[in-house]
Amino acid sequence: MENIALIESFSEFKDDKLIDRVTLMAILEDVFRNALKKKFGDDDNFDIIINPDKGDLEIWRNRIVVADGEVEEPNQEISLSDAQKIEPDFEVGEDVSEEVKLIDLGRRSILALRQNLISKIHEHDNTNIYKQFKELEGEIYTAEVHHIRHRAIILLDDEGNEIILPKDKQIPSDFFRKGDNVRGIIESVELKGNKPTIIMSRAHPVFLEKLFEQEIPEVFDGLITVKKVVRIPGEKAKVAVDSYDDRIDPVGACVGMKGSRIHGIVRELGNENIDVINYTNNLQLFITRALSPARVTSININEETKRAEVILKPEEVSKAIGRGGHNIRLAGYLTGYEIDVLREGAEEDVELSEFSDEIEEWIIKEFEKIGLDTAKSVLEHDLSDLVKRTDLEEETIQEVINILKEEFEQ
């Protein structure tokens, strides 16, 4: 009776964890064999018969009959007199099968056996979860906010699997409440101990690429290819697209009429500014397009050093650099070239860095952040304009202007 009660309690795992019958039987047999090894030292001579569906469990111990007093290995051999207590007509040399009741293993062994089973079931589940999510790496996944911590948000999917969205993999403007659905890509899956750790990311460039696949039919169908994506999460992104069909305008198809197609993607990314550009193998043209919305006058490329000197009209420089230097930085990431911006007619100009003995370096960097890296580029702007565009005090800016003016008055 105790066999049936125990196996029925084990079968609960089958329903709770949705383990198939064959797997459950293999786990159960492995657990019982471990218990037998601890009790008898070996399990080779035991037959275990399990039927989880009916609640049947039988364990049979097989031994050889030897003459009384000649038993050397009790687990493998049984004396003639003990064998005849099982069946009176046994003789020396015959095989004896004797049923082992679970109660014979002892209460502590049964408790350990059950604990071992729970551990094996969890290990099996974790392995399956790991395999399932490993195949989903780089794919968009949706889960619900379960718990909000300082450094991460803990999500749960429909099956109760825990997914971690770390703070540094969120978009800076992200704000979630418990119960909100969150979309991101499965960035990585690792086994720590026996437990899988699933990391989601909304800041990874692949998330933007996959959103293009979801939201733009031509990308999903393969008519338009996303060649490369670069991002400063929540701020700005550049996406290079191409089409092998000359009849399709890849940029137009991705953006849609009045931005209708890309609007949903921008909203998902916290109003991230997305530039979609046509990919080309013509490096000069690609760098020109990458620096949009600025209009480039000319480009000098050094393929050995992977640097490009881009010459622009003075009014185009700030557009090329962009707010916080985002535009030029992303253009560099997209093309793989370090881009240096030069102004037309800048021969008579002087780099701000040359004034480092008179102007502190951190002040020079504040000007460079807004695309002003030469003396003339600073002097072209009004004092009030510079106060608005930088984090510098009016007095500090005035001092810089005075120093720069002296240079040109000499």
CATH number at residue 254: 3.30.300.20
The answer to whether the CB of 48 falls within 8 A of the CB of 30 is: no
In the predicted structure, residue 2 carries a pLDDT above the cut 60: no
Last residue of a domain, one of 161, 188, 203: 203
Per-residue pLDDT, averaged over 15-22, amounts to: 58
Share of the chain above pLDDT 70, in %: 88
Taking alpha carbons only, the member of 60, 61, 62, 56 closest to residue 25 is 56
Higher model confidence: residue 8 or residue 407? 407
Task: Quote the pLDDT of residue 307.
Answer: 92
Last residue of a domain, one of 183, 203, 223: 203
DSSP 314-347: HHHHHHHH-GGGHHHHHHHHHHT-EEEEEETTGG
Number of residues in the chain: 410
Higher model confidence: residue 121 or residue 220? 220
Domain-located, residue 75: yes
Task: Quote the pLDDT of residue 314.
Answer: 78
Task: Quote the pLDDT of residue 176.
Answer: 94
Give first-to-last CA distance, the chain, whole Å: 107
User: Per-residue confidence at 90, pLDDT binned at 50, 70, 90?
Assistant: confident
Task: Quote the pLDDT of residue 406.
Answer: 79
Task: Quote the pLDDT of residue 19.
Answer: 62
Per-residue pLDDT, averaged over 96-108, amounts to: 75
CA diameter of the chain: 125
Domain-located, residue 59: yes
Task: Quote the pLDDT of residue 20.
Answer: 63
Q: Are 101 and 73 within one domain?
A: yes
56 Cβ contact partners less than 8 Å away, ≥ 6 residues apart: 3, 4, 7, 49, 50
Q: Are 24 and 108 within one domain?
A: yes
Per-residue pLDDT, averaged over 114-131, amounts to: 76
Higher model confidence: residue 390 or residue 330? 330
Last residue of a domain, one of 130, 165, 183: 130
Query: Residue 138: which region, alpha, beta or left (left: phi > 0; alpha: psi -120 to 50)?
Result: left
Residues 324 and 381: their CA atoms lie apart, in Å, by 18
Name the pTM for this structure.
0.64
Task: Quote the pLDDT of residue 1.
Answer: 38
Can you tell me which residue has the tokens 């807004």? 370
Q: Are 126 and 6 within one domain?
A: yes
Pick the most confident of 287-296, 314-323, 362-371.
287-296
Q: Are 7 and 107 within one domain?
A: yes
336-360: pLDDT as tens digits: 999 988 877 655 677 888 788 788 9
User: Per-residue confidence at 168, pLDDT binned at 50, 70, 90?
Assistant: very high
Share of the chain above pLDDT 90, in %: 42
User: Per-residue confidence at 4, pLDDT binned at 50, 70, 90?
Assistant: very low
- Give the domain range for residue 246: 204-279
Pick the most confident of 112-121, 226-235, 322-331, 356-365.
226-235
Per-residue pLDDT, averaged over 360-389, amounts to: 87
User: What CATH number did the domain enclosing 362 receive?
Assistant: 1.10.150
Task: Quote the pLDDT of residue 106.
Answer: 65
Lowest mean per-residue pLDDT among 62-76, 201-215, 284-298 = 62-76
Decide: residue 89, CB within 10 A, 0-12 exposed, 13-18 middle, 19+ buried. Answer: exposed
Domain-located, residue 295: no
Lowest mean per-residue pLDDT among 73-77, 148-152, 195-199, 289-293 = 73-77
Per-residue pLDDT, averaged over 121-125, amounts to: 72
Q: Are 39 and 81 within one domain?
A: yes
Domain-located, residue 297: no
CA 379 to chain centre: 47
Q: Are 34 and 124 within one domain?
A: yes
Higher model confidence: residue 243 or residue 47? 243
In the predicted structure, residue 187 carries a pLDDT above the cut 60: yes
In the predicted structure, residue 166 carries a pLDDT above the cut 90: yes
